[in-house]
A and B are shown apart, each in its own frame.
Chain A
Amino acid sequence: MTWIELAPTVSAAFLASLVECVEAATIVLAVGTVRGWKSAFVGTGLALAALVVLVLALGPALSQLPEQALQLFVGILLLLFGMRWLRKAILRGAGVIPLHDEEAIFKSETANLKLAQATERWGVDPIATATAFKGVLLEGVEVAFLVLAVAAGSPVLIGPAALGALAAAVLVTIAAVAIHKPLARVPENTLKFAVGVLISAFGIFWTGEGMGIAWPGQDLALIGIAVVLLGASLLGVRLAAAPAQPMEAR
């Protein structure tokens, strides 16, 4: 496979994972800052181990499904997932709902952790470990689903998609370790907008393939679908931002 064929899969996995990793990093930072780094790392490690088990169990199970059924199933899931992100990004872009604020989430998490009584079992703080475990597992499940889903067309794509996700995780870890603060400057809504467009495009493409649609231009149709979705989403921001016209003005 060439880089041109791999680029949409790798970039979708990378960008989507970047958003999820930033959210997981905020929780781990909050736990580490308030309750100690040992519990934060133990919780994170346990969650990563659980994710590996999940992927190892689900990956081969998915490959047992007939290709067309798998494309349809994954396509519809990706479509629902991508459109959900896109809807939220459009409404945030239009100022209808507030932007995601990592600083505020960090403050809220640290406040909750400070309230809980400190205890110790097996050398770690159970509340802190569970908080880090839950945060990393929940965001990680989304990453695992995305990696499996964007690669659903071909098992050959699972490796490159996983590499994209791993690159995002490494990048966020380095940044979080370096600045020791929530990564509030990451333009999360712009990322969600881009990822929503990409994932929705994959969703429409795979759903169509699963229905038996032979897209004009084959894989290149994916780019065309993404361009249409991007244009429509920008239009959506304008439409959602525009105040409703009063009846008399019509």
Chain B
Amino acid sequence: MGTLRAILHEIIGLFVDDGSLALALVVWCALVGLLMLVVSGVTMAAAGAALLAGCVGILLVNVVAAARKRRGAGP
């Protein structure tokens, strides 16, 4: 049982390390998908660019915030 629990924990840990990063990425993907459904005239290139730019922005904000938090916590 302990091994099974460790495997399950490891599988979840494959995708979620920092919960806020995972949540923000999923929400952003959903928003882009929703935008494509609701707003007419959104070009494929614009949707693709929005998806990429959003994911990159989320990553950058997350690492800067994590770095500041670590530094604030001290050694």
Contacts and interface: CB of A to CB of B under 8 A. Distances in A.
Interface of A: 76-77, 79-81, 83-84, 86-88, 90-91, 94, 96-97, 130, 133-134, 137-138, 141-142, 145, 200, 204, 207-208, 211-216, 221, 225, 228-229, 232-233, 235-236, 239-241, 243-244
Contacts of B18: 84, 87
Interface string B1-13: 0010011001100
A84 B3 contact: no
Contact of B64 (A81, A130, A137, A239): A239
Contacts of B21: 83-84, 87
A76 B29 contact: yes
Interface residues of B, number: 37
Contacts, number: 120
A207 B29 contact: yes
Contacts of A216: 44-45, 48
B63 A243 contact: no
The prevalent SS among residues of B at the interface is helix
Contact of A236 (B22, B44, B60): B60
28 contacts: A76-B25, A76-B26, A79-B55, A81-B14, A83-B21, A84-B14, A84-B15, A84-B22, A86-B59, A94-B67, A96-B66, A138-B7, A141-B14, A142-B10, A142-B14, A207-B51, A208-B48, A211-B47, A211-B51, A212-B36, A214-B44, A215-B48, A216-B48, A221-B48, A233-B59, A235-B60, A236-B64, A243-B71
Interface in B20-70: 21-22, 25-26, 29, 32-33, 36, 44-45, 47-48, 51-52, 55-56, 58-60, 62-64, 66-68, 70
Contacts of B51: 204, 207-208, 211, 213
| Nearest 8 A/B pairs, CB to CB | A240-B67, A80-B15, A232-B56, A84-B17, A96-B67, A214-B44, A236-B63, A240-B63
A76 B47 CA distance: 16
Given A79-B29, A80-B16, A240-B67, A87 B36 contact: no
Nearest to B46: A213
Contacts of B15: 77, 80-81, 84
Contacts of A142: 10, 14
Nearest to A233: B59
Contacts of A215: 44, 48
B52 A228 contact: yes
A193 to B, nearest CB: 12
B68 A244 contact: yes
A80 B71 contact: no
